[in-house]
Structure 1
Protein backbone atom coordinates (compact mmCIF):
# COMPACT_ATOMS: atom_id res chain seq x y z
CA UNK A 1 0.00 0.00 0.00
CA UNK A 2 2.83 2.41 0.83
CA UNK A 3 4.50 1.75 -2.51
CA UNK A 4 1.18 2.31 -4.32
CA UNK A 5 0.64 5.66 -2.58
CA UNK A 6 4.17 6.77 -3.43
CA UNK A 7 3.64 5.79 -7.07
CA UNK A 8 0.38 7.75 -7.23
CA UNK A 9 2.00 10.82 -5.67
CA UNK A 10 4.90 10.63 -8.12
CA UNK A 11 2.52 10.34 -11.07
CA UNK A 12 0.50 13.33 -9.84
CA UNK A 13 3.65 15.38 -9.46
CA UNK A 14 4.80 14.50 -12.96
CA UNK A 15 1.41 15.45 -14.43
CA UNK A 16 1.50 18.78 -12.61
CA UNK A 17 4.99 19.52 -13.94
CA UNK A 18 3.75 18.93 -17.48
CA UNK A 19 0.93 21.46 -17.15
CA UNK A 20 -2.74 21.47 -16.28
CA UNK A 21 -4.68 19.06 -18.52
CA UNK A 22 -7.96 19.81 -20.25
CA UNK A 23 -10.94 19.46 -17.95
CA UNK A 24 -14.35 17.91 -18.74
CA UNK A 25 -16.30 20.58 -20.62
CA UNK A 26 -20.03 20.49 -21.41
CA UNK A 27 -19.43 23.68 -23.38
CA UNK A 28 -16.94 21.88 -25.66
CA UNK A 29 -19.43 19.06 -26.14
CA UNK A 30 -21.81 21.66 -27.57
CA UNK A 31 -19.12 23.45 -29.61
CA UNK A 32 -17.22 20.53 -31.09
CA UNK A 33 -19.54 19.78 -34.01
CA UNK A 34 -19.80 23.44 -35.04
CA UNK A 35 -16.01 23.71 -35.16
CA UNK A 36 -14.99 20.23 -36.36
CA UNK A 37 -18.05 18.73 -38.01
CA UNK A 38 -17.69 14.95 -37.97
CA UNK A 39 -13.90 15.07 -37.54
CA UNK A 40 -12.61 13.42 -34.38
CA UNK A 41 -9.32 14.76 -33.00
CA UNK A 42 -6.81 12.46 -31.37
CA UNK A 43 -4.62 13.39 -28.38
CA UNK A 44 -1.39 15.08 -29.43
CA UNK A 45 0.57 12.83 -27.03
CA UNK A 46 3.61 15.11 -26.93
CA UNK A 47 3.68 15.91 -30.66
CA UNK A 48 2.29 19.34 -29.71
CA UNK A 49 1.98 21.01 -26.31
CA UNK A 50 0.00 24.08 -25.32
CA UNK A 51 1.65 25.88 -22.41
CA UNK A 52 -0.41 28.34 -20.36
CA UNK A 53 -0.42 29.58 -16.77
CA UNK A 54 -2.61 27.59 -14.39
CA UNK A 55 -3.80 30.88 -12.87
CA UNK A 56 -3.39 33.95 -15.07
CA UNK A 57 -1.91 37.13 -13.60
CA UNK A 58 -3.94 39.22 -16.06
CA UNK A 59 -7.00 37.68 -17.74
CA UNK A 60 -6.71 40.19 -20.61
CA UNK A 61 -3.15 39.12 -21.56
CA UNK A 62 -2.76 35.39 -20.99
CA UNK A 63 0.37 33.98 -22.68
CA UNK A 64 -0.24 30.88 -24.79
CA UNK A 65 2.73 28.96 -26.17
CA UNK A 66 2.50 26.17 -28.74
CA UNK A 67 5.58 23.92 -28.77
CA UNK A 68 6.73 20.80 -30.61
CA UNK A 69 9.78 18.64 -29.92
CA UNK A 70 12.30 17.99 -32.73
CA UNK A 71 11.15 15.49 -35.32
CA UNK A 72 7.44 16.18 -34.79
CA UNK A 73 5.05 16.17 -37.76
CA UNK A 74 4.64 19.48 -39.56
CA UNK A 75 1.63 21.28 -38.11
CA UNK A 76 0.15 23.21 -41.01
CA UNK A 77 -2.69 24.94 -39.23
CA UNK A 78 -4.11 25.37 -35.75
CA UNK A 79 -7.50 26.47 -34.49
CA UNK A 80 -7.18 27.97 -31.02
CA UNK A 81 -10.38 27.61 -28.96
CA UNK A 82 -11.19 29.11 -25.56
CA UNK A 83 -14.27 27.14 -24.55
CA UNK A 84 -15.95 29.65 -22.24
CA UNK A 85 -15.23 32.87 -24.15
CA UNK A 86 -18.14 34.71 -25.81
CA UNK A 87 -16.51 34.00 -29.19
CA UNK A 88 -14.75 30.66 -28.50
CA UNK A 89 -12.64 30.49 -31.66
CA UNK A 90 -9.79 32.83 -30.74
CA UNK A 91 -7.70 32.38 -33.88
CA UNK A 92 -7.03 30.19 -36.88
CA UNK A 93 -3.35 30.12 -37.81
CA UNK A 94 -1.64 28.63 -40.87
CA UNK A 95 2.10 27.92 -40.56
CA UNK A 96 4.81 27.67 -43.18
CA UNK A 97 7.42 24.89 -43.11
CA UNK A 98 10.09 27.33 -41.86
CA UNK A 99 8.19 27.36 -38.55
CA UNK A 100 8.71 23.62 -38.09
CA UNK A 101 8.96 22.36 -35.37
CA UNK A 102 6.52 24.85 -33.93
CA UNK A 103 7.48 27.23 -31.14
CA UNK A 104 4.93 30.03 -31.23
CA UNK A 105 3.59 32.31 -28.50
CA UNK A 106 0.77 34.85 -28.41
CA UNK A 107 -1.47 36.50 -25.81
CA UNK A 108 -5.21 35.99 -25.45
CA UNK A 109 -8.15 37.09 -23.33
CA UNK A 110 -9.82 34.52 -21.08
CA UNK A 111 -13.28 35.51 -19.86
CA UNK A 112 -13.81 32.85 -17.19
CA UNK A 113 -12.24 29.62 -15.99
CA UNK A 114 -11.84 27.70 -19.22
CA UNK A 115 -10.09 25.09 -21.27
CA UNK A 116 -7.81 26.60 -23.89
CA UNK A 117 -7.34 24.05 -26.63
CA UNK A 118 -5.34 23.79 -29.84
CA UNK A 119 -6.77 21.74 -32.72
CA UNK A 120 -3.89 21.05 -35.08
CA UNK A 121 -3.90 19.58 -38.59
CA UNK A 122 -0.64 17.94 -39.62
CA UNK A 123 0.75 17.62 -43.13
CA UNK A 124 -0.11 13.91 -42.93
CA UNK A 125 -3.79 14.67 -42.33
CA UNK A 126 -3.95 13.89 -38.61
CA UNK A 127 -6.11 16.13 -36.43
CA UNK A 128 -4.44 16.53 -33.04
CA UNK A 129 -5.80 18.15 -29.88
CA UNK A 130 -3.96 19.46 -26.86
CA UNK A 131 -4.61 22.17 -24.31
CA UNK A 132 -4.67 23.42 -20.76
CA UNK A 133 -7.16 24.65 -18.18
CA UNK A 134 -6.67 28.31 -17.28
CA UNK A 135 -8.10 30.02 -14.21
CA UNK A 136 -8.91 33.58 -15.24
CA UNK A 137 -11.98 35.81 -15.44
CA UNK A 138 -13.06 39.08 -17.00
CA UNK A 139 -10.52 39.18 -19.82
CA UNK A 140 -12.93 40.03 -22.63
CA UNK A 141 -14.55 42.92 -20.74
CA UNK A 142 -11.39 44.30 -19.10
CA UNK A 143 -11.08 48.07 -19.68
CA UNK A 144 -8.90 49.19 -22.56
CA UNK A 145 -5.62 50.80 -21.55
CA UNK A 146 -6.50 54.07 -23.34
CA UNK A 147 -9.66 55.91 -24.53
CA UNK A 148 -10.88 54.82 -27.98
CA UNK A 149 -9.73 57.89 -29.91
CA UNK A 150 -6.30 57.88 -28.32
CA UNK A 151 -5.93 54.12 -28.75
CA UNK A 152 -6.69 54.25 -32.48
CA UNK A 153 -4.30 57.15 -33.09
CA UNK A 154 -1.33 54.77 -33.05
CA UNK A 155 -3.06 51.73 -34.55
CA UNK A 156 -1.00 49.82 -37.07
CA UNK A 157 2.39 50.71 -35.64
CA UNK A 158 4.70 47.68 -35.69
CA UNK A 159 7.93 46.75 -33.98
CA UNK A 160 10.34 43.85 -34.24
CA UNK A 161 12.42 42.42 -31.43
CA UNK A 162 15.03 39.75 -32.09
CA UNK A 163 16.57 37.25 -29.68
CA UNK A 164 19.33 35.83 -31.84
CA UNK A 165 19.90 32.10 -32.23
CA UNK A 166 17.71 29.74 -30.23
CA UNK A 167 19.19 26.62 -28.60
CA UNK A 168 18.04 24.52 -31.58
CA UNK A 169 19.96 26.74 -34.03
CA UNK A 170 16.95 28.55 -35.44
CA UNK A 171 16.38 32.26 -34.97
CA UNK A 172 13.81 33.74 -32.60
CA UNK A 173 11.83 36.93 -33.13
CA UNK A 174 8.88 38.86 -31.77
CA UNK A 175 6.47 41.00 -33.80
CA UNK A 176 4.40 43.60 -31.92
CA UNK A 177 1.42 45.44 -33.41
CA UNK A 178 -0.36 48.38 -31.84
CA UNK A 179 -4.15 47.96 -31.94
CA UNK A 180 -6.78 48.30 -29.17
CA UNK A 181 -8.56 45.08 -30.15
CA UNK A 182 -11.92 46.32 -28.83
CA UNK A 183 -14.02 43.28 -27.97
CA UNK A 184 -17.48 44.91 -27.97
CA UNK A 185 -17.78 44.04 -24.26
CA UNK A 186 -15.85 47.04 -22.91
CA UNK A 187 -17.13 50.42 -21.76
CA UNK A 188 -15.58 53.80 -22.42
CA UNK A 189 -14.33 54.77 -18.96
CA UNK A 190 -15.34 58.42 -19.57
CA UNK A 191 -18.75 58.15 -21.24
CA UNK A 192 -19.64 54.69 -19.88
CA UNK A 193 -20.98 53.82 -23.33
CA UNK A 194 -20.19 50.48 -24.92
CA UNK A 195 -17.22 50.54 -27.31
CA UNK A 196 -18.09 48.79 -30.61
CA UNK A 197 -16.06 45.72 -31.49
CA UNK A 198 -13.05 46.61 -33.62
CA UNK A 199 -10.17 44.17 -33.94
CA UNK A 200 -7.56 42.67 -36.25
CA UNK A 201 -9.17 39.94 -38.32
CA UNK A 202 -6.33 39.06 -40.72
CA UNK A 203 -2.55 39.12 -40.42
CA UNK A 204 0.36 37.72 -42.43
CA UNK A 205 4.10 37.57 -41.66
CA UNK A 206 6.59 36.86 -44.45
CA UNK A 207 10.38 36.64 -44.59
CA UNK A 208 11.13 37.73 -48.12
CA UNK A 209 8.82 35.75 -50.41
CA UNK A 210 8.26 32.97 -47.88
CA UNK A 211 5.21 33.17 -45.65
CA UNK A 212 5.91 32.20 -42.05
CA UNK A 213 2.34 32.35 -40.77
CA UNK A 214 -1.11 33.79 -41.44
CA UNK A 215 -3.65 34.44 -38.71
CA UNK A 216 -7.39 35.00 -38.74
CA UNK A 217 -8.33 36.41 -35.36
CA UNK A 218 -11.28 37.44 -33.22
CA UNK A 219 -12.02 39.36 -30.02
CA UNK A 220 -10.01 36.94 -27.87
CA UNK A 221 -6.63 38.15 -29.17
CA UNK A 222 -5.23 40.62 -26.64
CA UNK A 223 -4.84 44.36 -27.02
CA UNK A 224 -1.62 45.34 -28.83
CA UNK A 225 -0.97 41.79 -30.08
CA UNK A 226 2.45 40.22 -29.61
CA UNK A 227 3.69 37.14 -31.47
CA UNK A 228 6.97 35.42 -30.58
CA UNK A 229 8.25 32.57 -32.72
CA UNK A 230 11.22 30.51 -33.86
CA UNK A 231 11.90 30.08 -37.56
CA UNK A 232 14.46 28.84 -40.07
CA UNK A 233 16.21 31.89 -41.50
CA UNK A 234 16.13 31.96 -45.31
CA UNK A 235 18.52 34.91 -45.57
CA UNK A 236 15.86 37.54 -46.31
CA UNK A 237 16.69 41.00 -45.00
CA UNK A 238 13.44 41.53 -43.15
CA UNK A 239 9.91 40.52 -42.23
CA UNK A 240 6.99 41.85 -44.23
CA UNK A 241 3.92 42.18 -42.00
CA UNK A 242 0.44 42.89 -43.34
CA UNK A 243 -2.52 43.53 -41.03
CA UNK A 244 -6.24 44.11 -41.73
CA UNK A 245 -8.94 44.98 -39.20
CA UNK A 246 -12.73 44.80 -39.07
CA UNK A 247 -13.13 48.47 -40.01
CA UNK A 248 -11.31 47.90 -43.30
CA UNK A 249 -7.99 49.43 -42.23
CA UNK A 250 -4.88 47.85 -43.73
CA UNK A 251 -1.30 48.35 -42.62
CA UNK A 252 1.80 46.87 -44.21
CA UNK A 253 5.40 47.31 -43.15
CA UNK A 254 8.79 45.69 -43.68
CA UNK A 255 10.72 45.25 -40.45
CA UNK A 256 14.48 44.85 -41.10
CA UNK A 257 16.18 41.87 -39.48
CA UNK A 258 19.56 42.02 -37.86
CA UNK A 259 22.23 40.25 -39.95
CA UNK A 260 22.80 36.64 -38.92
CA UNK A 261 25.98 36.10 -36.95
Structure 2
Protein backbone atom coordinates (compact mmCIF):
# COMPACT_ATOMS: atom_id res chain seq x y z
CA UNK A 1 0.00 0.00 0.00
CA UNK A 2 2.80 2.42 0.88
CA UNK A 3 4.54 1.69 -2.40
CA UNK A 4 1.39 2.42 -4.38
CA UNK A 5 0.73 5.74 -2.59
CA UNK A 6 4.34 6.89 -3.09
CA UNK A 7 3.61 7.18 -6.83
CA UNK A 8 0.71 9.60 -6.41
CA UNK A 9 2.74 12.87 -6.28
CA UNK A 10 4.53 11.90 -9.50
CA UNK A 11 1.22 11.09 -11.23
CA UNK A 12 -0.31 14.34 -10.02
CA UNK A 13 2.66 16.30 -11.36
CA UNK A 14 2.34 14.62 -14.75
CA UNK A 15 -1.38 15.47 -14.94
CA UNK A 16 -0.67 19.12 -14.07
CA UNK A 17 2.00 19.31 -16.76
CA UNK A 18 -0.44 17.86 -19.32
CA UNK A 19 -3.22 20.26 -18.30
CA UNK A 20 -0.97 23.29 -18.60
CA UNK A 21 0.69 22.20 -21.85
CA UNK A 22 4.15 21.67 -20.36
CA UNK A 23 6.09 19.28 -22.60
CA UNK A 24 8.35 16.65 -21.02
CA UNK A 25 12.06 17.51 -21.17
CA UNK A 26 13.65 16.32 -24.43
CA UNK A 27 17.18 15.01 -24.85
CA UNK A 28 19.62 17.76 -25.79
CA UNK A 29 20.75 17.92 -29.39
CA UNK A 30 24.30 16.57 -29.84
CA UNK A 31 26.89 19.33 -29.98
CA UNK A 32 27.89 20.29 -33.52
CA UNK A 33 31.37 21.89 -33.55
CA UNK A 34 31.31 22.78 -37.25
CA UNK A 35 29.90 26.34 -37.02
CA UNK A 36 32.66 27.31 -34.59
CA UNK A 37 35.32 25.54 -36.65
CA UNK A 38 34.16 27.27 -39.84
CA UNK A 39 34.46 30.61 -38.06
CA UNK A 40 37.90 29.88 -36.59
CA UNK A 41 39.55 28.15 -39.55
CA UNK A 42 37.96 30.11 -42.40
CA UNK A 43 37.30 33.44 -40.66
CA UNK A 44 33.55 32.91 -40.99
CA UNK A 45 33.71 33.28 -44.78
CA UNK A 46 30.59 32.19 -46.63
CA UNK A 47 30.63 28.69 -48.08
CA UNK A 48 28.88 27.23 -51.08
CA UNK A 49 27.56 23.71 -51.62
CA UNK A 50 30.54 21.72 -52.87
CA UNK A 51 28.59 19.33 -55.11
CA UNK A 52 30.32 19.30 -58.48
CA UNK A 53 33.42 21.03 -57.11
CA UNK A 54 34.90 18.92 -54.29
CA UNK A 55 34.32 15.32 -53.18
CA UNK A 56 35.52 13.33 -50.18
CA UNK A 57 35.73 9.55 -49.96
CA UNK A 58 36.14 7.74 -46.61
CA UNK A 59 34.80 4.45 -45.21
CA UNK A 60 31.61 4.83 -43.20
CA UNK A 61 33.02 2.52 -40.54
CA UNK A 62 36.80 2.47 -40.24
CA UNK A 63 38.65 -0.82 -39.77
CA UNK A 64 41.45 0.93 -37.86
CA UNK A 65 40.79 4.38 -36.39
CA UNK A 66 44.52 5.20 -36.46
CA UNK A 67 44.89 4.76 -40.25
CA UNK A 68 41.62 5.76 -41.90
CA UNK A 69 41.98 6.28 -45.67
CA UNK A 70 40.67 9.52 -47.15
CA UNK A 71 40.62 10.72 -50.76
CA UNK A 72 39.90 14.31 -51.79
CA UNK A 73 38.87 14.99 -55.39
CA UNK A 74 38.58 18.28 -57.25
CA UNK A 75 35.62 17.83 -59.60
CA UNK A 76 35.23 21.17 -61.39
CA UNK A 77 33.10 20.65 -64.51
CA UNK A 78 34.68 21.00 -67.97
CA UNK A 79 34.63 24.58 -69.17
CA UNK A 80 34.94 26.09 -65.70
CA UNK A 81 37.94 28.40 -66.03
CA UNK A 82 38.59 28.52 -62.29
CA UNK A 83 40.98 26.17 -60.54
CA UNK A 84 41.19 24.73 -57.02
CA UNK A 85 44.03 26.49 -55.21
CA UNK A 86 43.68 24.80 -51.79
CA UNK A 87 41.81 21.98 -50.03
CA UNK A 88 41.39 21.88 -46.25
CA UNK A 89 40.49 18.65 -44.43
CA UNK A 90 38.68 19.06 -41.09
CA UNK A 91 37.85 16.15 -38.76
CA UNK A 92 35.27 17.87 -36.59
CA UNK A 93 35.48 15.83 -33.36
CA UNK A 94 39.26 15.38 -33.27
CA UNK A 95 41.24 17.19 -30.56
CA UNK A 96 42.95 19.25 -33.28
CA UNK A 97 40.25 19.29 -35.98
CA UNK A 98 42.22 20.76 -38.90
CA UNK A 99 43.95 17.64 -40.18
CA UNK A 100 45.66 19.18 -43.21
CA UNK A 101 45.61 22.03 -45.67
CA UNK A 102 46.86 21.29 -49.16
CA UNK A 103 47.91 24.08 -51.51
CA UNK A 104 48.01 23.05 -55.16
CA UNK A 105 50.64 24.26 -57.61
CA UNK A 106 49.18 26.62 -60.24
CA UNK A 107 50.32 24.49 -63.19
CA UNK A 108 50.32 20.99 -61.69
CA UNK A 109 46.62 20.20 -62.33
CA UNK A 110 46.36 18.21 -59.11
CA UNK A 111 42.87 16.72 -59.05
CA UNK A 112 43.11 13.97 -56.40
CA UNK A 113 44.91 13.61 -53.05
CA UNK A 114 44.82 10.56 -50.80
CA UNK A 115 46.24 10.10 -47.32
CA UNK A 116 45.57 8.32 -44.00
CA UNK A 117 44.24 10.00 -40.88
CA UNK A 118 43.44 9.37 -37.24
CA UNK A 119 39.79 9.64 -36.20
CA UNK A 120 39.14 10.02 -32.47
CA UNK A 121 35.31 9.91 -32.28
CA UNK A 122 32.29 9.32 -34.47
CA UNK A 123 32.37 12.49 -36.51
CA UNK A 124 31.56 14.56 -39.55
CA UNK A 125 34.57 15.14 -41.77
CA UNK A 126 34.56 18.27 -43.95
CA UNK A 127 36.53 19.06 -47.08
CA UNK A 128 36.65 22.71 -48.12
CA UNK A 129 37.99 23.78 -51.51
CA UNK A 130 39.15 27.32 -52.16
CA UNK A 131 38.93 28.35 -55.81
CA UNK A 132 40.97 30.88 -57.75
CA UNK A 133 38.11 33.39 -57.53
CA UNK A 134 38.24 33.27 -53.72
CA UNK A 135 35.02 31.26 -53.29
CA UNK A 136 34.83 28.41 -50.76
CA UNK A 137 33.00 25.15 -51.47
CA UNK A 138 32.27 22.57 -48.79
CA UNK A 139 31.28 18.92 -48.67
CA UNK A 140 31.20 16.42 -45.82
CA UNK A 141 30.92 12.76 -44.89
CA UNK A 142 30.36 10.85 -41.66
CA UNK A 143 32.82 8.34 -40.22
CA UNK A 144 32.30 5.84 -37.41
CA UNK A 145 35.63 5.38 -35.64
CA UNK A 146 37.05 6.11 -32.20
CA UNK A 147 40.34 6.20 -30.34
CA UNK A 148 42.57 6.88 -33.34
CA UNK A 149 44.45 9.82 -31.82
CA UNK A 150 45.39 7.91 -28.66
CA UNK A 151 46.12 4.54 -30.29
CA UNK A 152 49.67 3.30 -29.53
CA UNK A 153 52.22 3.60 -32.31
CA UNK A 154 52.47 0.58 -34.57
CA UNK A 155 56.29 0.67 -34.45
CA UNK A 156 58.42 0.73 -31.33
CA UNK A 157 60.49 3.81 -30.52
CA UNK A 158 63.82 2.36 -31.71
CA UNK A 159 62.39 1.22 -35.04
CA UNK A 160 60.70 4.59 -35.55
CA UNK A 161 63.94 6.42 -34.73
CA UNK A 162 65.84 4.37 -37.32
CA UNK A 163 63.37 5.32 -40.04
CA UNK A 164 62.98 8.97 -39.07
CA UNK A 165 62.98 11.22 -42.11
CA UNK A 166 63.38 8.48 -44.71
CA UNK A 167 61.40 9.55 -47.78
CA UNK A 168 60.32 7.26 -50.58
CA UNK A 169 58.68 8.11 -53.89
CA UNK A 170 56.57 5.90 -56.13
CA UNK A 171 55.52 7.04 -59.58
CA UNK A 172 52.54 5.68 -61.50
CA UNK A 173 51.15 6.26 -64.97
CA UNK A 174 47.39 6.69 -65.08
CA UNK A 175 45.65 3.94 -67.02
CA UNK A 176 46.07 4.49 -70.76
CA UNK A 177 48.60 7.29 -70.38
CA UNK A 178 52.24 7.39 -71.39
CA UNK A 179 55.02 8.10 -68.88
CA UNK A 180 55.70 11.69 -69.97
CA UNK A 181 52.28 12.92 -71.08
CA UNK A 182 48.82 13.03 -69.62
CA UNK A 183 47.88 12.68 -65.95
CA UNK A 184 50.14 10.70 -63.67
CA UNK A 185 50.16 9.70 -60.01
CA UNK A 186 52.89 9.82 -57.40
CA UNK A 187 53.10 8.73 -53.78
CA UNK A 188 55.29 10.27 -51.07
CA UNK A 189 55.97 8.13 -47.97
CA UNK A 190 57.81 9.61 -44.97
CA UNK A 191 59.17 7.60 -42.07
CA UNK A 192 57.99 9.47 -38.99
CA UNK A 193 56.10 8.51 -35.79
CA UNK A 194 53.80 11.53 -36.11
CA UNK A 195 53.05 11.34 -32.39
CA UNK A 196 49.76 13.01 -31.53
CA UNK A 197 50.58 13.92 -27.92
CA UNK A 198 47.66 11.76 -26.76
CA UNK A 199 49.44 8.40 -26.89
CA UNK A 200 50.72 6.80 -23.70
CA UNK A 201 54.08 5.08 -23.36
CA UNK A 202 53.19 1.54 -22.30
CA UNK A 203 56.32 1.26 -20.15
CA UNK A 204 56.47 4.63 -18.36
CA UNK A 205 52.71 5.27 -18.45
CA UNK A 206 53.52 8.85 -19.47
CA UNK A 207 52.11 10.64 -22.50
CA UNK A 208 54.45 10.77 -25.49
CA UNK A 209 55.00 14.40 -26.52
CA UNK A 210 53.48 15.55 -29.81
CA UNK A 211 56.03 15.20 -32.62
CA UNK A 212 54.80 15.27 -36.20
CA UNK A 213 55.43 16.41 -39.77
CA UNK A 214 53.85 19.84 -40.07
CA UNK A 215 55.12 20.93 -43.49
CA UNK A 216 55.60 19.14 -46.79
CA UNK A 217 56.44 20.48 -50.24
CA UNK A 218 56.73 18.65 -53.55
CA UNK A 219 58.25 20.13 -56.73
CA UNK A 220 58.86 19.14 -60.32
CA UNK A 221 62.32 20.71 -60.71
CA UNK A 222 61.56 24.17 -59.23
CA UNK A 223 57.82 24.22 -59.92
CA UNK A 224 55.52 23.51 -56.98
CA UNK A 225 53.21 20.52 -57.33
CA UNK A 226 51.64 20.73 -53.88
CA UNK A 227 52.35 21.66 -50.29
CA UNK A 228 50.77 20.43 -47.07
CA UNK A 229 50.38 21.98 -43.64
CA UNK A 230 49.73 18.98 -41.40
CA UNK A 231 48.61 18.33 -37.84
CA UNK A 232 48.33 15.49 -35.33
CA UNK A 233 45.50 13.84 -37.28
CA UNK A 234 47.82 12.64 -40.05
CA UNK A 235 48.71 9.00 -39.34
CA UNK A 236 52.07 7.56 -38.42
CA UNK A 237 54.46 7.41 -41.42
CA UNK A 238 52.66 10.08 -43.48
CA UNK A 239 51.63 8.82 -46.88
CA UNK A 240 50.42 11.24 -49.56
CA UNK A 241 49.30 10.04 -53.00
CA UNK A 242 48.28 12.57 -55.65
CA UNK A 243 47.63 13.10 -59.35
CA UNK A 244 49.49 15.69 -61.40
CA UNK A 245 50.39 16.58 -64.97
CA UNK A 246 54.11 16.39 -65.89
CA UNK A 247 55.73 19.62 -67.03
CA UNK A 248 58.82 18.09 -68.61
CA UNK A 249 60.86 18.31 -65.41
CA UNK A 250 63.81 16.00 -64.93
CA UNK A 251 63.52 15.56 -61.17
CA UNK A 252 61.05 15.37 -58.32
CA UNK A 253 62.09 17.14 -55.13
CA UNK A 254 60.53 16.76 -51.68
CA UNK A 255 61.15 18.69 -48.47
CA UNK A 256 59.46 17.90 -45.15
CA UNK A 257 59.75 19.60 -41.76
CA UNK A 258 58.60 18.44 -38.35
CA UNK A 259 57.69 20.13 -35.09
CA UNK A 260 61.18 19.57 -33.65
CA UNK A 261 62.73 21.56 -36.51
CA UNK A 262 64.15 18.64 -38.47
CA UNK A 263 64.30 19.15 -42.24
CA UNK A 264 64.18 16.11 -44.51
CA UNK A 265 64.96 16.38 -48.24
CA UNK A 266 65.13 13.95 -51.15
CA UNK A 267 65.03 14.04 -54.93
CA UNK A 268 64.52 11.48 -57.68
CA UNK A 269 64.69 11.23 -61.44
CA UNK A 270 61.27 11.58 -63.07
CA UNK A 271 60.46 8.29 -64.81
CA UNK A 272 60.46 8.75 -68.57
CA UNK A 273 62.37 12.04 -68.41
CA UNK A 274 65.16 10.66 -70.59
CA UNK A 275 68.10 11.32 -68.27
**TM bucket normalised to smaller:** 0.7 to 0.9
Answering whether residue 205 of structure 2 is matched by residue 192 of structure 1, we say yes
Which secondary structure state, in structure 2, belongs to the residue aligned with residue 97 of structure 1? coil
Alpha-carbon offset, residue 25 of structure 1 = 6.2
Counterpart of 1:74 in structure 2 is 83
Is 1:152 paired with 2:161? Answer: yes
Mapped partners of 2:49, 2:273: distance in 1: 37
1:39 to 21, 45, 49: 45
Is 1:52–2:63 an aligned residue pair?
no
Match of residue 236 from structure 1:
249
In the alignment, which residue of structure 2 is the partner of 1:18? none
- Aligned pair count reads 238
Match of 1:175? Answer: 188
CA–CA distance in structure 1, aligned partners of residues 194 and 167 of structure 2: 15
- Say whether the 8 Å CA contact 2:54–2:128 is kept in structure 1: no
CA distance in 2, matches of 1:96, 1:183: 28
SS in 1 for 2:114: strand
Structure 1 residues 49 and 250: alpha-carbon distance in aligned structure 2, compared to 1, 3 A threshold: same
8 Å CA contact 2:74–2:84 kept in 1: the answer is no
Q: Is the contact between residue 74 and residue 101 of structure 1 (CA under 8 Å) also seen in structure 2?
A: no
Q: TM-score, normalised by structure 1?
A: 0.86
In the alignment, the residues of structure 2 paired with residue 37 and residue 167 of structure 1 have an alpha-carbon distance, to the nearest angstrom, of 43
| Partner residue of 1:27 out of 33, 40, 43 | 33
Q: Distance in 2 between matches of 1:51 and 1:147?
A: 31
Once the two structures are TM-superposed, the CA of residue 225 in structure 1 deviates from its matched residue by 0.7
Alignment of 1:201-220 (within 5 A): 201-220=214-233
Q: Supply the distance in 2 between the matched residues of 1:258 and 1:99 (Cα, whole angstroms).
A: 17
**TM-score scaled to structure 2, two decimals?**
0.81
Q: CA RMSD in A?
A: 1.9
Over 3 Å counting, the alpha-carbon distance change for 1:75 and 1:218 in structure 2 is same
Corresponding residue SS for 1:35: helix
Kept in 2, the 8 Å contact 1:166–1:172? The answer is no
Structure 1 residue runs of 5 or longer lacking an equivalent are 1-23
Cα distance change of structure 1 residues 209 and 256 upon mapping to structure 2, 3 Å threshold:
same
User: Partner of 1:150: helix, strand, or coil?
Assistant: helix
Larger Rg: 2
Question: Could you tell me whether the CA contact under 8 Å between 1:108 and 1:221 is conserved in 2?
Answer: yes
Contact kept in structure 1, 2:90 and 2:125, CA below 8 Å: yes
- The one-character-per-residue Cα deviations of 1:66-103 (angstroms, maximum 9, x if unpaired) are 11335354110122110000000111111013442511
- Work out whether residues 172 and 228 of structure 1, in 8 Å CA contact, stay in contact via their aligned partners in 2: yes
Contact 1:199 / 1:245 at 8 angstroms: preserved in 2? yes
Which residue is equivalent to 1:128? 137
